[in-house]
């Protein structure tokens, strides 16, 4: 391998034959696979260096919408200190969550899937494929025991890890059945199972927004509710057509559902608060209550051209960080019953301050708009879901003791941190400073430094290991 790589370095790419190019690609792939296997091994060793002081201080995954936590690796794997994960992720250029997955996969493979672990380090199975197996055995529902995980390990290694997602799901399901891990599912009873299942739901799939600005909605309703909804949509669609709409029936029904969401019925289009048929159209519109009160935070660049503000054609919707067209925003606001609130422009570079520890709304809003996300390296949690942290801690006793306040409530001493990284900064030796508005420099416990700004995270320096101690 080394001879081929040396030949590639000496010769230009254009000078290589087709055979040599393929050989070079093959060798580079082997190097990549070996590096990924080594990374798993080193991640597991990093975990070995950082056992938690108690189970309450162990790294875990939080389940959205609940206080339940899932371990980063399965039963039988050692626990890992919560705060050691962030530094590993920062050095690798990945998020803390991704670093948890890397460590969890490494421990799962080493302790519960040892045969697959051996195949990875022998070069027989690529690390990414082994990690997909580890992900499945870690988060199986119900959880796999060590014996059940070992059985999956036997099956997978017999085919050198070459199983697809569907096959892997079947293996995990078989392990759950074989080791009797599942509780009896009363809903599966062919006669009375329906008594234990309530399929009703309404799901708005707003994570997948169509380029036309639409989202998919799916629901299961009671029969009576479904019939009533169908009648309401049909009546509203017919009303729109009677008022002159030339749109298709599907579009009018979709708009009718939006009217229902805004607590409006089809009758409101004709008679609002007792309006008669002789009332003019404009009067009816003015008499209707405000219907749309959706809170959107839209950010557009603007220029002043001959005393006229001109907005750019594209901007950013803070809600879920979506690209937004000015034309879309104008269409959303074109309904006369849409309530539009334009907030004053906030100078993100102006240094606002307040007495005391509490952060006023105007300063909180400025910090959120400036930072956009949690400012920890590689974290992307939206700023509105974050805590506002005093970078230099506020001293509650400073004023009483006649000392200057070391951590004032001021724009240049405040930053957005998600709860996890806020705790990390508070309870560990991680520290950071704001070098200019919205630009932060972080230093890890082992001296690694990172610069975080709106464009992302970049390492500042490369830390050399300390020299070995003299005997």
pLDDT digits (tens, 9 = 90+) for 384-439: 999 999 999 999 999 889 999 999 999 999 999 999 999 999 999 999 999 999 99
Q: Does 28 share its domain with 135?
A: yes
Q: Does 228 share its domain with 280?
A: yes
Q: Does 38 share its domain with 103?
A: yes
Q: Which of 178, 212, 229 is the last residue of a domain?
A: 178
Q: How many residues does the chain have?
A: 471
pLDDT digits (tens, 9 = 90+) for 201-228: 888 887 777 777 788 899 998 878 888 8
Q: Which of 320, 342, 364 is the last residue of a domain?
A: 342
- Cα(234)–Cα(244) distance, rounded to whole angstroms? 16
Cβ distance 152 to 113 under 8 Å? yes
Q: Which of 261, 285, 309 is the last residue of a domain?
A: 285
- The pair phi, psi for residue 230, each rounded to 5°, is -60, -45
**Is 187 part of any domain?**
no
**Is 467 part of any domain?**
no
**Is 455 part of any domain?**
yes
For residue 175, the SS3 value is: helix
Q: Does 277 share its domain with 314?
A: no
Shortest CA distance to 374 belongs to which of 286, 454, 287?
454
Shortest CA distance to 438 belongs to which of 422, 424, 451?
451
Output the pLDDT for position 328: 66
Tokens of 321: 């960080």
**Is 184 part of any domain?**
no
Q: Does 453 share its domain with 402?
A: yes
Q: Does 360 share its domain with 432?
A: yes
Q: Give me the residues paired with residue 467 across strands.
A: none
User: What's 2's DSSP letter?
Assistant: H
- Cα(83)–Cα(56) distance, rounded to whole angstroms? 12
Cβ distance 116 to 131 under 8 Å? no
For the chain, residues with pLDDT lower than 50 are: 264-286, 288-289, 291-292, 320
The Cβ-side half-sphere exposure at 77, using a 13 Å CA radius, reads 32
Q: Where are the alpha helices (DSSP H) in 65-222?
A: 85-92, 96-111, 114-121, 127-138, 146-157, 165-178
**Is 189 part of any domain?**
no
Q: Which domain holds residue 427?
A: 353-459
Beta strands in 378-438 (DSSP E): 387-390, 409-410, 414-417, 431-436
Output the pLDDT for position 278: 46
**Is 470 part of any domain?**
no
**Is 10 part of any domain?**
yes
Q: Does 277 share its domain with 306?
A: no
Output the pLDDT for position 284: 46
Q: Does 326 share its domain with 445?
A: no
Q: Does 28 share its domain with 146?
A: yes
- Cα(87)–Cα(452) distance, rounded to whole angstroms? 14
Q: Does 230 share its domain with 252?
A: yes
Q: Give me the residues paired with residue 202 across strands.
A: 219
For residue 115, the SS3 value is: helix
Distance between the two ends of the chain, CA-based, in angstroms? 39
Cβ distance 369 to 316 under 8 Å? no
Q: Does 372 share its domain with 300?
A: no
Q: Does 316 share its domain with 361?
A: no
**Is 471 part of any domain?**
no
Look at the chain and report how many structural domains it folds into: 4
């Amino acid at each position: 391998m080394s001879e081929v790589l040396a030949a590639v370095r000496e010769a230009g790419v254009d000078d290589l034959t087709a055979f040599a190019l393929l050989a070079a690609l093959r060798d580079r792939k082997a190097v990549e696979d070996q590096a990924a296997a080594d990374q798993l091994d080193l991640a597991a060793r990093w975990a070995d260096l950082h056992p938690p002081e108690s189970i309450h201080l162990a790294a875990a995954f939080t389940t959205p919408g609940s206080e339940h936590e899932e371990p980063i690796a399965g039963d039988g794997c050692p626990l890992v200190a919560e705060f050691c994960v962030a530094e590993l992720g920062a050095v690798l250029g990945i998020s803390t969550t991704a670093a948890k997955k890397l460590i969890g996969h490494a421990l799962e493979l080493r302790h519960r899937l040892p045969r697959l672990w051996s195949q990875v380090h022998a070069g027989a199975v690529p690390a990414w494929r082994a990690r997909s197996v580890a992900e499945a055995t870690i988060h199986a529902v119900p959880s796999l025991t060590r014996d059940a995980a070992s059985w999956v390990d036997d099956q997978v290694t017999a085919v050198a890890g070459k199983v697809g997602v569907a096959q892997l799901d079947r293996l995990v399901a078989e392990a759950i059945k074989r080791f009797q891990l599942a509780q009896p599912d009363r809903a599966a009873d062919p006669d009375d199972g329906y008594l234990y299942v309530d399929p009703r739901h309404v799901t708005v799939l707003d994570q997948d927004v169509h380029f036309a600005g639409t989202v998919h909605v799916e629901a299961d309703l009671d029969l009576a509710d479904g019939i009533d909804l169908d009648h309401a949509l049909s009546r509203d669609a017919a009303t729109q057509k009677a008022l002159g709409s030339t749109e298709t029936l599907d579009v009018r029904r979709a708009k009718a559902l939006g009217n229902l969401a805004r607590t409006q019925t089809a009758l409101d289009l004709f008679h609002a608060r007792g309006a008669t048929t002789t009332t003019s159209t404009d009067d009816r519109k003015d008499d209707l209550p405000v219907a749309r009160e959706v809170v959107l935070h839209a950010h557009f660049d603007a220029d002043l051209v001959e005393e006229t503000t001109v907005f750019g054609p594209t901007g950013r919707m803070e809600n879920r960080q979506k690209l937004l067209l000015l034309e879309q925003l104008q269409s959303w606001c074109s309904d006369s019953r849409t309530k539009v609130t334009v907030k004053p422009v906030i100078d993100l570079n102006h240094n606002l301050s307040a007495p005391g520890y509490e952060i006023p709304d105007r300063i909180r809003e400025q910090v959120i708009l400036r930072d956009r996300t949690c400012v920890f390296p590689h974290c992307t949690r939206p700023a509105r879901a974050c805590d506002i942290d005093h970078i230099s801690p506020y001293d509650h006793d400073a004023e009483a003791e006649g000392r200057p306040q070391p951590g004032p409530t001021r724009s240049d001493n405040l930053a957005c941190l998600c709860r996890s990284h806020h705790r990390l900064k508070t309870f560990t030796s991680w520290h950071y400073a704001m070098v200019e508005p919205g630009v932060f420099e972080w230093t890890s416990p082992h001296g690694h430094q990172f610069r975080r700004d709106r464009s992302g995270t970049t390492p500042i320096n490369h830390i050399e290991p300390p020299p070995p101690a003299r005997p």
